[in-house]
Every structure is written in C-alpha cells, then in structure tokens.
Amino acid sequence: MGLRSYIIVRILLTIPLIMLLLSIVFLIIRVIPGDPVLLHFERKASEEAVEAMRQRLGLDKSLPIQYFEYLGGLFRGDLGRSMQDFSPVSEQIFSAFPATLELAICSMLVATTIGILLGVKASESYNSLKDHLIRAFGIIVYAMPIFFLGMIFQMIFAINFHWLPANGRFPPRLTEPRGMILFMNQPVGIAVWSFMIGLLCLALHVGLLRMKGVRFWGQGSTISLSHFMIVWIVGFTVWIVGFSYAQLNMSGVVRVSTGLFTVDSVIEGNILKFVESLRYLFLPSLTLGLVLSGVFIRLTRSNMLETLRLDFVTAAKARGLKESTVTYGYALRNAFLPILTMMGLQFATLLGGAILTETTFSWPGLGRYLVDRINFRDYTAIQGAVVYFALIVAVVNLIIDILYAYLDPRIRY
Amino acid sequence: MGLLEVDSLRVDYRTRRGSIRAVDDVSFKLEKGELLGLVGESGSGKSTLGLSIIRLVPPPGVIEQGSIRIDGDDIIDFSAEKMQSIRGSQISFIFQDPMTSLSPVKKISEHFIEFIRTHEPKTTKAEALKRANTTLRDVGILPERIADYPHQFSGGMRQRIMIALAITLNPEIVIADEPTTALDVIVQAKILDLLTELRDRYGMAWILITHDLSVVLERCDKILVMYAGGIVEYADSKELFRNPRHPYTQRLLQGIPNIEFSDQKLKAIPGSPPNLLNPPNGCSFSPRCSEGEPRCKSEKPQLLEVIPNHFVRCFKEM
C-alpha cells in the first residue's frame, strides 16, 4: 500500500468515527436535563412563544427524524444554525478557531521547548541533583491546576507589575492597521528592517558554522568573504521585497485576514500590532505551555535514558563526534517518535479548545465557545463542535503518522 | 617506544555496594601493525580495558590510576576536546553488535560524511563520499549501497560497514570488541580474515577482544589472557599455544575442540569467576586452580617475564 492510498483509507475511516461520536453526543445532550428553548427565553416567555420556538428549531419532531435531518444537513456540509442566536454554527466555529489555533501553537512551542530541553538535560545527568530538580519541576507543573497557575501569573505580571495584559485577546483599538505603525511603508523603516534581518541572518549563519566546529579567527580559520556577501545579498533582497510590499499594502492591494493576529499584523506590516498580539498571547501560552511541559519532560527523559544506553550512541562517541551531536543528532533523534506522538495528541486536544486556560484568561477561543453553548444546551452548536473536533483529531493524527515515515526510514505504509 | 603503552592501569566501577575492580594493574605494549588478541571470559574486564583506551568507560567506571600512552603522549591527561579529536582518527573502536551500532535513522552516507567532516572540517561532502566509497569497497560493500539505511543490510554487512567507518581515517590503532560474536560462524571467519587483510594492507595495529581463544590463536601476533581484571599470561601466540604456562591458559586450551582427536572429551574449568566486589585473597584464580599451593590463597603472585616476551602470573613459574 502506497502512501497515497494509506492517506485515502485513513480519511475514509474518519467518517465512521465521526458518525459514532456524533450519534453518542446527539443522544447524550438530549438526555441530560436542560432545555435550549427555555434557556433561550430565560424562562420569561409565554407557552405559545415557547411552542413556536420549539417548532422553529425542529425540536417538536421525534428524535430519529431530528437525527436524520441533522445528518442530511451534515452530508451537504451544513452544520445547522445555533439554537441560541440562529447564526450558522460553521461560521461561529470558524470565527473562534483562529484564537484557539494561535494559543495552541504558542503553548505547544513553550511546552515542547521547555519539555524537550529539560528532559534532555535531565537524562544527560542521570540521577544527579540536576536530574532530580528537573523531575520535581516536571511533576509540580503537571500537577498544578491551570487556573491557579494562570491566576498567579496574572497577579504577578499583570496586576502587580503591569507588564502584560491580564486577559482578553486584543483591544479593539489596535485591530485596524494605523499609519504611524507601518514602519515598512517608509524607505528608512525598510532600510532598518533589512539591516536588522541581515544581522540576524549573519548571527544564525555564524551560529550554525560554530556548531559545525568552523573556526573564524586564528589558526585554521576557514571563513571567507563570500559568507558575508551572501548575508548582505539576503538583506538587500529583504529590502526590495519589503519596499514593494509596503507599496502594495499602502495602496490597499493586500487585504488578507487569517484571523491570527500575529500573522495578520505581519501581513499588514504593523509591528506594534504584532508586539501587542504577542503580549496578549504571552500569559495564556506560558501558563498552558508550562503545565503541558511536565508531560514532555518526563517523556523525553525516559526515552532519552533508553536511547542513550544503545550501542550507536557509544559508537558515535567512539568516532569522536561532538557531545552535542551525539545527544541531539543521535540520541534525541532516535528517541523522538514517542515525543512526536505526544505532540500530536496534545496539539489535537489543544485545537479543541483549552477550556480552563481560555476561561481564566477570557480568551475567545473554541473552549469558551463550547462551554458557553453547553450551558445553553445549544444542541446544534455542540454537535457541530464535536464534528469539528473529530475532524481535527483525525487530521492531526494523520499528519503525525506521515511524519513518522519521514522521521524513521524503517516505517513504510 | 611502542605505539600504545598501557602501564599499571586500574579501572574501578564505583557502585553503591562498593568498588568493583574491573581492570587491575594491567600493563602491556602494542607495536605498529601488531595484532593483539585480548582473551578472557565474561566479566574479566577485557571490554572495560578496551573502552578505557578510548576513555569511554561507562559510568560509574573510573580510571583510577595508570597511564595510557599513544606515541608517547599520555591520553589520561588529554582534555575532552583533544580526546574527541583522536577518537576515530587515531584510535577506532568496533562494537560487538553490528545490528545496533549504526543510527537507524541515518543513511550510511550520512554516518560517513558526519564522521569525516567532524575530524576534517574542510572536506567537502563529495570528497567525503568518495573516501567513504573507497573504504566501503575495501571491506566488500558495493559503493552504490551507500545511500541505504542500516536496516537494509544484514548483520555481517553492517559489521563490514562498522569496520569501514573504523578505518576510514587511517587510525594507527583499531580496537575490536568481540566483532564477530553476534554473527554466524561462516560470516565470523570472513570478518576475521578481513581484519587480517586490512592490517596487512594498511598496517594499523589491532586489538581483538574475544572470549574465544581459538578465534585469535592463529590470527594474532600476541595474546593477552585476562582473568578477573588482571593479566594472567601475555606472550606471542605461537609460544602461548605451545607452552601455556598459567593453569588458566592451559585449561582454556584444553577447552578447544581438536579435529584430529574428535573423540576426546573437552574439559570444562570447574567453578565460576570470583565475585569482584569481594575478590579472593591471593591469586584470583586459586579457588578454581587444581595445581594450587597454600600460599596461592594468601599471597598475590606478580606478573613475571619467565622467558623473554612471555609473562605469567603464577607462583609455580617463579
């Protein structure tokens, strides 16, 4: 079976998965107490009005008919309308999705960076004080309730020091690009940008060469002028691209909105908006990322300990490879599959909405949307969210499985 | 001055239950192009001795004393970077199990390129590949297979690749720790022939660590027999075969089946090696020795050169 047919089969398999999940949820939300119509009117409506609303929402029909009508809509790609505010559920999910995606990506970055780095460090100094401290840290952050950690951060960084916003995603005043912020539309701004990016390229380049053991000065120096030429050309290209882009932006040709404020601000060339959106992202991502990092610390550490004992690690050392190459290029690279699996699972969960984090930080994502709708027994919205979530889990797992084959040549589909 | 001179080397594993002396006062010399067989049973300290020569004794093992001189320089004093730079380029090491000695996620070519460029950063990828191809041909692997992954090779072929990696940078010394134990008998013989052939062609010195005396008897120039961390006998292989002087060596030779006298029963050595946490007083082989005297149990015999180039640690040779 080739990779393509594998993907097709996997996608087809998600259909029964979604059907099963949907059927269960469909029944359960109708069994639990609570009535979307009464909750809609907050119990202040006449019986006729309630009955009319029931008919309008189709709740007067028998369960099987409701079920098959919903399924029929689903096959046409229609998730139905919310029972709360009557707007299409798919639109609501799409509008809450970017906030959740942004939070999921940032907190995964925090969790995997902290988790993998600390896990590797712990395994390198197995059974030492450092190892014990890192393990203790991992358990503590994992056991920490998210809302508690979130509130502590809010108190320290937002209320006490006023460094970061306490909650919310973005103030309305900054959602539109403003002229003064568009550094990129002025030649001077672009010159500064290209200079900075050129420096960044140079730093990265030098760093990479240093890691490969290239000497820059003294005996055996191998760096030549061409390296600096390349860096300069990169900077120049950025200048040209940035300049023409700024022209497009000013003339209003670029009007793309992804809903991800960090991405949008870059597209708009609005650096202040970019910084501001990061400031709003910081506390929720840090909180969620720290709590999740506990899992990654333990997982990385235990897998590294197993891999570090394997012969090819000692053999790599015996060939005189550098300690960092052996640790990251050999041990971590081979210990990575279980970590990747966990990354996929966690990321899929996060894309379903981090309910506690989103509630603590009033983050307008899918988690809060779902809690909100469950409170109002908004049947269609809940069903829609379930369909969406099943799809996300299936897609993320599929991507992880494909990455497996890429990471480990022994895995073939 | 020999190529490699190990002098009164002592390696301990510092465990919670006490120190285990894995290598006890070992001294020997290795000349250029020499093939030295290091023989001993499991736990005799032969692998630890091999690993300590590249200073990769796994923790909690520690080199407690002694010197290891390569071309006159004591590598015990080398910095970690200096040590890294000689591993693989001056001394190579081949491990027992070829199935697990290569990273399963890297192509053979990546192993070579990374290795060559670590030691010679100026080498381009193309040059590194070219050199890899030459060495692969030397060990009998088709150069076009360099783009394959380790799991696409058999055990014997992987050991050939490990050997190719070990000799790529023309090291002066190659230490092979039971290179054929994990392979079947036919492949074993081929690999051993390959080692001798490479020695003849490139003139590097080999240390061949094995538990099988018969494997090294006919191929090695010199043989060093270890028991419980110490050297019990050290001599030219022919001399050792004709005149084994230590009771342990004699019993080992009696354990080798002989085609001409195939109905002869092989004699096993009674007992088992001593517990190194709590080694016996006196000669460590005394509990299993059939020719012991009373003082074997109380005094430790010294390693003595009984005739030129034949060293034995036994009271009856004194």
Residues B185-236 have pLDDT tens digits of 888 888 889 999 999 999 999 999 998 888 888 889 999 999 988 899 999 9
How many structural domains compose chain A? 2
Flag whether pLDDT at B93 surpasses 90: yes
Flag whether pLDDT at B275 surpasses 60: yes
Q: Please, are residues B304 and B311 in contact by the beta-carbon 8 Å criterion? A: yes
Q: Is A105 among the domain residues?
A: no
Dist CA A270 CA A182 (whole Å): 5
pLDDT confidence of residue A42: 75
Dist CA A386 CA A233 (whole Å): 50
A-B CB pairs within 8 A amount to 80
Q: What are the tens digits of pLDDT across the range B287-318?
A: 888 887 888 888 888 888 888 889 998 888 76
Amino acid residing at A167: N
**Can you give the residue range of the structural domain that contains A24?**
14-96+364-395
Helix, strand, coil percent content, chain A, rounded in steps of 5: 75, 0, 25
* Contact assignment for A320 to B87 by CB distance below 8 Å: yes
Amino acid residing at A227: H
Instruction: Kindly give, in sequence order, each residue whose CB lies less than 8 Å from that of residue A277, ignoring residues fewer than 6 positions away.
Output: A170, A261, A262, A265
Residue with tokens 């909180």: A287
Pairing of strands B230-236, B222-227: antiparallel
* Contact assignment for A213 to B165 by CB distance below 8 Å: no
pLDDT confidence of residue B317: 73
Token output for B191: 């690999």
**Distance between first and last Cα of chain A:** 6
Q: Please, are residues A378 and A83 in contact by the beta-carbon 8 Å criterion? A: yes
Dist CA A183 CA B225 (whole Å): 77
3-class secondary structure per residue, A333-356 = HHHHHHHHHHHHHHHHHHHCCCHH
Dist CA B289 CA B250 (whole Å): 11
* Contact assignment for A317 to B102 by CB distance below 8 Å: no
Dist CA A95 CA A260 (whole Å): 10
pTM, full prediction: 0.80
User: Does residue B257 or residue A78 have the better pLDDT?
Assistant: A78
Rounded mean pLDDT, B46-55:
93
Instruction: Kindly give, in sequence order, each residue whose CB lies less than 8 Å from that of residue A182, ignoring residues fewer than 6 positions away.
Output: A189, A246, A249, A250, A268, A269, A270
- CA B160 from chain centre, in angstroms, equals 17
DSSP A79: -
Burial state string for A217-229 with b = 16 or more CB within 10 A and e = fewer than 16: eeeeeeeeeebee
Which of A246, A269, A292 terminates a domain? The answer is A269
Dist CA A163 CA A165 (whole Å): 7
Q: What are the tens digits of pLDDT across the range B112-164?
A: 999 999 999 888 889 999 999 999 998 989 988 999 999 999 988 999 999 99
pLDDT confidence of residue A299: 96
* Contact assignment for A407 to B86 by CB distance below 8 Å: no
Q: Please, are residues B11 and B57 in contact by the beta-carbon 8 Å criterion? A: yes
Residue among A213, A315, A320 minimizing CB distance to B121:
A213
pLDDT confidence of residue A180: 39
Residue among B101, B118, B122 minimizing CB distance to A321:
B118
Long-range interactions of B256-260: CB distance < 8 A, separation 24+ = B256/B213, B256/B214, B256/B217
Q: Is A153 among the domain residues?
A: no
Dist CA B55 CA B85 (whole Å): 12
- CA B145 from chain centre, in angstroms, equals 29
User: What are the two backbone dihedrals, phi and then psi, of residue B208, each rounded to the nearest 5 degrees?
Assistant: -105, 110
Tally the residues of chain A: 413
* Contact assignment for A408 to B105 by CB distance below 8 Å: yes
Q: What is the DSSP string of A150-166?
A: HHHHIIIIIIIS--S-S
Helix, strand, coil percent content, chain B, rounded in steps of 5: 35, 25, 40
Least confident of A95-109, A171-185, B167-181, B253-267: A171-185
Q: Which helix (H) or strand (E) holds B25?
A: strand B18-30
pLDDT confidence of residue A179: 42
Interface of A with B (CB under 8 A): 212-214, 222, 310-312, 314-323, 325, 329-330, 333-334, 407-410
pLDDT band at B5; cut points 50, 70, 90 = very high
Instruction: Kindly give, in sequence order, each residue whose CB lies less than 8 Å from that of residue A159, ignoring residues fewer than 6 positions away.
Output: A166
Which of A269, A291, A307 terminates a domain? The answer is A269
Q: Is A344 among the domain residues?
A: no
Q: Is A234 among the domain residues?
A: yes
Number of CB atoms found within 10 A of residue B200's CB: 10
Dist CA B247 CA B268 (whole Å): 13
Q: Is A51 among the domain residues?
A: yes
Residue among A311, A329, A409 minimizing CB distance to B149:
A409
pLDDT confidence of residue A38: 81
* Contact assignment for B88 to A319 by CB distance below 8 Å: yes
pLDDT confidence of residue A129: 94
Cis amide bond preceding B60, omega within 30:
yes
- What is the rounded radius of gyration, in angstroms, for the C-alpha atoms of chain B? 20
Per-residue pLDDT of chain A (413 residues; tens, 9 = 90+): 677 888 888 888 888 888 898 999 999 998 888 888 888 787 677 888 888 888 888 888 888 899 998 889 888 888 888 888 889 999 999 888 999 999 999 999 999 999 999 999 999 988 899 999 999 999 999 999 999 999 999 999 998 988 888 888 876 555 454 443 445 556 666 667 677 777 777 777 777 776 666 656 555 555 556 666 776 777 777 767 766 766 666 666 656 677 888 887 777 767 777 888 888 999 999 999 999 999 999 999 999 999 998 899 999 999 999 989 999 999 999 999 999 999 999 999 999 888 899 989 989 899 999 998 998 889 999 999 988 988 888 889 889 988 888 888 888 77
Rounded mean pLDDT, B25-46:
90
* Residue B310, beta-bridge partner list: B307
What average pLDDT does chain B have?
Answer: 88
* Contact assignment for B87 to A319 by CB distance below 8 Å: yes
Helix (H), strand (E) counts: chain A: 17, 0
pLDDT confidence of residue A178: 46
Dist CA B262 CA A126 (whole Å): 52
* Contact assignment for A318 to B56 by CB distance below 8 Å: yes
Flag whether pLDDT at B49 surpasses 90: yes
Dist CA A205 CA B280 (whole Å): 60
pLDDT confidence of residue B130: 93
Residue with tokens 């070519």: B109
Q: Testing the interface with A: which of B47, B70, B102, B118 to mutate, by most A Cβ within 10 A?
A: B118
| C-alpha pair distances (Å), A23 with each of A60, A367, A380 | 19, 21, 13
Q: What is the DSSP string of A176-243?
A: S--GGG-GGGSHHHHHHHHHHHHHHHHHHHHHHHHHTT---SSTT----HHHHHHHHHHHHHHHHHHH
Pairing of strands B61-70, B73-74: antiparallel
pLDDT confidence of residue A327: 93
Token output for B11: 């390696």
Closest CA to A288 of A357, A342, A347, A370: A357
* Contact assignment for A319 to B105 by CB distance below 8 Å: no
- CA B25 from chain centre, in angstroms, equals 17
User: What are the two backbone dihedrals, phi and then psi, of residue B13, each rounded to the nearest 5 degrees?
Assistant: -100, 115
CB < 8 Å to A318, chain B: 54, 56, 87-88, 92-93, 95
Number of CB atoms found within 10 A of residue A398's CB: 17
Q: Please, are residues A350 and A104 in contact by the beta-carbon 8 Å criterion? A: yes
| C-alpha pair distances (Å), B134 with each of B112, B131, B152 | 12, 5, 20
- CA B157 from chain centre, in angstroms, equals 21
Token output for B99: 């199935």
Grouping H, G, I as helix, E, B as strand and the rest as coil, residue B159 is: helix
Dist CA A358 CA A124 (whole Å): 36
- Please provide the CATH number assigned to the domain covering B4-90+171-317: 3.40.50.300
Nearest CA in chain A to B118: A321
Tally the residues of chain B: 318
